[in-house]
Amino acid sequence: MARHLITSAIPYINGIKHLGNLVGSQLPADLYARYLRKRGHEVLFLCATDEHGTPAELAAAKAGKPVAAYCAEMHAVQARIADGFGLSFDHFGRSSSPQNHKLTQAMAGRLAEMGLIREVTEDQVYSVTDGRFLPDRYIEGTCPNCGFDSARGDQCDNCTKQLDPTDLINPRSTISGATDLEVRTTKHLYLRQSELKAALADWIDSKKDWPILTTSIAKKWLNDGDGLQDRGITRDLDWGIPVRKGDQDWPGMEGKVFYVWFDAPIEYIACAQEWQDAGKGNDWERWWRTDKGAGDVRYTQFMGKDNVPFHTLSFPATIMGTQQPWKLVDYIKSFNYLNYDGGQFSTSRGRGVFMDQALDILPSDYWRWWLLSHAPETSDAEFTWDAFQQDVNKDLADVLGNFVSRITKFCRSKFSETIPAGGEHGAPEHALIAALTQRLTAYQGHMDAIEVRKAAAELRAIWVLGNEYLQANAPWTTIKTDPDMAAMQVRLGLNLIRLYAVLSAPFIPDASKLLLEAMQTDDADWPDDIGAALTALPAGHAFSVPDNLFRKITDDERADWAERFAGVRT
């Protein structure tokens, strides 16, 4: 048994996330955690809400609530939705927790001791009307390069030119629309990432098994242009973790907070402390400190490609820079984007399906199966209602659901609601066991390698084998001439349901639970031997016929949903 630490990118607090966010981090992380637990490994699966920064303040103001109250409310909402999707976090924490406050301040103090923090005096844009410094993304104006009138203070989305706020023509605050902006001098702390470039390069080069997407992004940020730059770790904001050196004041930094990118990854570690303090576990340090037992932990992170630079460079730089025995990530599984029906998901335009809306339409397993079987691993993927309807109806209803319905209803009508006795395995059954064994080996290999789409394809192939066996051997025909053989075929089929429940649990946990309940067993150990697994439920064992496992999506539903979530076209 191995020990696995798993984290997924922590979702930002301001609103409910869409399906692309879900499949880009939390859902595949849950798949892997569930699989490893089924295989008998010890797993700690952590996630949290990312709660600091200007967007949280603005979202709270829009909602008419104090920012702390808003964040607490939205954390509860996101936790409830995560539970609705069956995300099996051992703890779902908060970056605003006291544990993260203390740890972030301690790490910053340690980095200062190691000479890796420098103070920088810089000019920033201040809005007199708003009474605050404005982050670059909250300043808009006309691009001096292409004339686009909604360029941001960091980049023009029209021509992609990198900008400074002072480059903009007729700049304005996106918070209030005010134009009374002025440049003021302020001081901030920078993490001297450039000092760690060689160590980071050697570490990244040592990760020979990382996905190409992960290493290519990391090396691009490390080497392109001017290479790895020092990065600001403080901001002039009210909401956040106050800048301190551990439990000591930081002269000159009064009234400032740590920048959200700095404290958010540290929450991965603090989340384990929260897990322990909540009474869910103990000895959190054995997961995160190599001098306390974390040396034998394999740490895997899941994230969208936009988060890769922070997790391959900035967060590792923080950990390395402390020269303390914190656990570094072993494997980063990164994902491309899931787009929506020819465009992008958009909160402002109401375009696409968001997590709460998805659960209002259909149970979570429908979404889990489609999203994971189309995970954007090697390139961007696209959600369309036609594909969703087609794949749900074919894979879940016609393949898995149909198999379960046919064999349970046939047994009930011809024998009873107990597994029948009689007959011995013959050549068709041995051939099926051999094929299943081969498929199971491939399935496990893809799951171990976190090849999500390939694993889904193998699982579907395992379901198909059961249907092909029934179709070829036709117990409904066999029973007319050889009832014992038909009984054996039915017994095999009912044991296949149990096997499917076990193997499918990481992908579709609710359906798996229903199948085990129908087979009236909670013996759900991962199969070491397919032959043994197909005799696990003996003759005389009672079962029940489950309700329709998966229903088909109708053409009318598909058309209605496509129209409902098309958003406002521009």
CA dihedral 490, 494, 496, 498 (to 10 degrees): -170
Does the pLDDT of residue 186 top 70, yes or no? Answer: yes
Q: Which two tokens stand for residue 299?
A: 């740490």
Last residue of a domain, one of 269, 304, 335: 335
Is 347 part of a structural domain of the chain? no
Claim to verify: residue 410 and residue 482 sit in the same structural domain: yes
Tell me: is residue 143 an annotated ligand-binding position. yes
Is 301 part of a structural domain of the chain? yes
Lowest mean pLDDT among 152-156, 441-445, 549-553: 152-156
pLDDT for res 349: 83
Average pLDDT, the chain: 95
pLDDT for res 477: 97
Is 228 part of a structural domain of the chain? no
Claim to verify: residue 440 and residue 492 sit in the same structural domain: yes
- Nearest alpha carbon to residue 245 among 254, 376, 237: 254
pLDDT for res 523: 74
Lowest mean pLDDT among 182-191, 222-231, 325-334, 523-532: 222-231
Mean pLDDT of 521-533: 91
**Which DSSP state fits 90?**
S
Alpha-carbon distance values, 130 to 125, 138, 182 (Å): 11, 11, 12
Tell me: is residue 318 an annotated ligand-binding position. no
Q: Where are the alpha helices (DSSP H) in 427-508?
A: 427-448, 452-473, 475-478, 483-504
Does the pLDDT of residue 379 top 80, yes or no? Answer: yes
Claim to verify: residue 98 and residue 126 sit in the same structural domain: no
DSSP code string of 50-89: B--SHHHHHHHHHHTS-HHHHHHHHHHHHHHHHHHTT---
Claim to verify: residue 56 and residue 201 sit in the same structural domain: yes
Is 360 part of a structural domain of the chain? no
Does the pLDDT of residue 569 top 70, yes or no? Answer: no
Domain count, the chain: 3
Tell me: is residue 411 an annotated ligand-binding position. no
Does the pLDDT of residue 492 top 60, yes or no? Answer: yes
Question: Distance (Å, rounded) from C-alpha 475 to C-alpha 490?
Answer: 7
Does the pLDDT of residue 120 top 50, yes or no? Answer: yes
The CATH number of the domain holding residue 282 is 3.40.50.620
Tell me: is residue 156 an annotated ligand-binding position. yes
Claim to verify: residue 130 and residue 54 sit in the same structural domain: no
Is 414 part of a structural domain of the chain? yes
* pLDDT above 90 coverage of the chain, percent: 88
Q: What count of other Cβ atoms lies within 10 Å of the Cβ of residue 249?
A: 11
How do beta strands 91-94 and 42-49 pair?
parallel
Claim to verify: residue 50 and residue 148 sit in the same structural domain: no
- For residue 276, the enclosing domain spans 3-114+196-205+261-335
Tell me: is residue 159 an annotated ligand-binding position. yes
Claim to verify: residue 10 and residue 152 sit in the same structural domain: no
Q: Which two tokens stand for residue 345?
A: 């998901």
Last residue of a domain, one of 167, 191, 215: 191
Is 55 part of a structural domain of the chain? yes
Alpha-carbon distance values, 293 to 165, 287, 288, 358 (Å): 47, 7, 8, 41
Sequence-separated (6 or more) residues with CB below 8 Å from residue 451:
377
Claim to verify: residue 293 and residue 269 sit in the same structural domain: yes
Does the pLDDT of residue 471 top 80, yes or no? Answer: yes
The CATH number of the domain holding residue 497 is 1.10.730.10
pLDDT for res 54: 85
Claim to verify: residue 109 and residue 146 sit in the same structural domain: no
Does the pLDDT of residue 298 top 60, yes or no? Answer: yes
Last residue of a domain, one of 314, 335, 356: 335
Is 315 part of a structural domain of the chain? yes
Claim to verify: residue 392 and residue 506 sit in the same structural domain: yes
The CATH number of the domain holding residue 130 is 2.170.220.10
Where residue 570 falls among pLDDT bands split at 50, 70, 90?
A: very low
Q: What count of other Cβ atoms lies within 10 Å of the Cβ of residue 481?
A: 8
Mean pLDDT of 161-170: 86
Does the pLDDT of residue 162 top 80, yes or no? Answer: no
Does the pLDDT of residue 460 top 80, yes or no? Answer: yes
pLDDT for res 388: 98
CA dihedral 16, 20, 22, 25 (to 10 degrees): -130
Where residue 14 falls among pLDDT bands split at 50, 70, 90?
A: very high
Is 397 part of a structural domain of the chain? yes
CA–chain centroid gap for 299, Å, is 15
Give the chain's count of helices (H) and strands (E).
Answer: 22, 18
Mean pLDDT of 80-88: 98
Does the pLDDT of residue 432 top 50, yes or no? Answer: yes
Prediction pTM value: 0.94
Claim to verify: residue 53 and residue 200 sit in the same structural domain: yes
Claim to verify: residue 56 and residue 162 sit in the same structural domain: no
Does the pLDDT of residue 568 top 70, yes or no? Answer: no
In sequence order, the β-bridge partners of residue 257 are 235, 242
